[in-house]
Amino acid sequence: MFRETLKKVIERTEGATGALIMGTDGIAVEKVLTPEARELNLDVAAAEFTSLVRSAQRV
Protein backbone atom coordinates (compact mmCIF):
# COMPACT_ATOMS: atom_id res chain seq x y z
CA MET A 1 0.00 0.00 0.00
CA PHE A 2 2.75 2.47 0.95
CA ARG A 3 5.49 0.75 -1.04
CA GLU A 4 5.56 3.23 -3.94
CA THR A 5 5.73 6.21 -1.59
CA LEU A 6 8.58 4.64 0.36
CA LYS A 7 10.45 3.93 -2.89
CA LYS A 8 10.13 7.61 -3.84
CA VAL A 9 11.44 8.66 -0.42
CA ILE A 10 14.52 6.46 -0.88
CA GLU A 11 15.12 7.82 -4.39
CA ARG A 12 14.93 11.45 -3.20
CA THR A 13 17.06 10.96 -0.08
CA GLU A 14 20.78 10.81 -0.72
CA GLY A 15 22.44 7.91 1.09
CA ALA A 16 19.17 6.25 2.10
CA THR A 17 19.33 2.47 2.36
CA GLY A 18 15.71 1.90 3.28
CA ALA A 19 12.47 3.40 4.49
CA LEU A 20 9.72 2.00 6.64
CA ILE A 21 6.45 2.82 8.30
CA MET A 22 6.39 1.44 11.79
CA GLY A 23 3.82 1.34 14.54
CA THR A 24 4.62 2.47 18.06
CA ASP A 25 4.85 -1.21 18.99
CA GLY A 26 7.96 -1.53 16.81
CA ILE A 27 6.35 -3.68 14.13
CA ALA A 28 6.96 -2.55 10.55
CA VAL A 29 3.75 -2.00 8.60
CA GLU A 30 5.62 -1.60 5.32
CA LYS A 31 9.30 -1.39 4.45
CA VAL A 32 11.41 -1.00 1.35
CA LEU A 33 15.14 -1.71 1.33
CA THR A 34 17.80 -1.15 -1.29
CA PRO A 35 19.69 -4.27 -2.41
CA GLU A 36 22.67 -3.19 -0.28
CA ALA A 37 20.51 -2.87 2.83
CA ARG A 38 19.02 -6.34 2.57
CA GLU A 39 22.23 -7.72 4.08
CA LEU A 40 21.96 -5.37 7.07
CA ASN A 41 19.72 -6.03 10.04
CA LEU A 42 17.69 -2.81 9.99
CA ASP A 43 15.03 -4.32 12.23
CA VAL A 44 17.39 -3.86 15.17
CA ALA A 45 17.79 -0.18 14.31
CA ALA A 46 14.02 0.17 14.02
CA ALA A 47 13.55 -1.39 17.44
CA GLU A 48 16.04 1.05 18.96
CA PHE A 49 14.25 3.94 17.30
CA THR A 50 10.96 2.72 18.77
CA SER A 51 12.53 2.87 22.21
CA LEU A 52 13.54 6.50 21.60
CA VAL A 53 10.07 7.43 20.38
CA ARG A 54 8.43 5.87 23.43
CA SER A 55 10.78 7.76 25.74
CA ALA A 56 10.01 11.02 23.95
CA GLN A 57 6.27 10.41 24.24
CA ARG A 58 6.57 10.01 28.01
CA VAL A 59 8.31 13.36 28.32
**CB-CB neighbours of 20 under 10 Å:** 18
pLDDT of the residue at 22: 85
Tally the domains of the chain. 1
pLDDT of the residue at 13: 96
pLDDT of the residue at 1: 77
Amino acid identity at 52: L
Range of the domain at 39: 3-58
Q: Please report, in tens digits, the pLDDT of each residue of the chain (59 residues total).
A: 799 999 999 999 999 998 988 887 778 889 899 988 877 777 777 778 888 888 888 88
Q: pTM for this structure?
A: 0.71
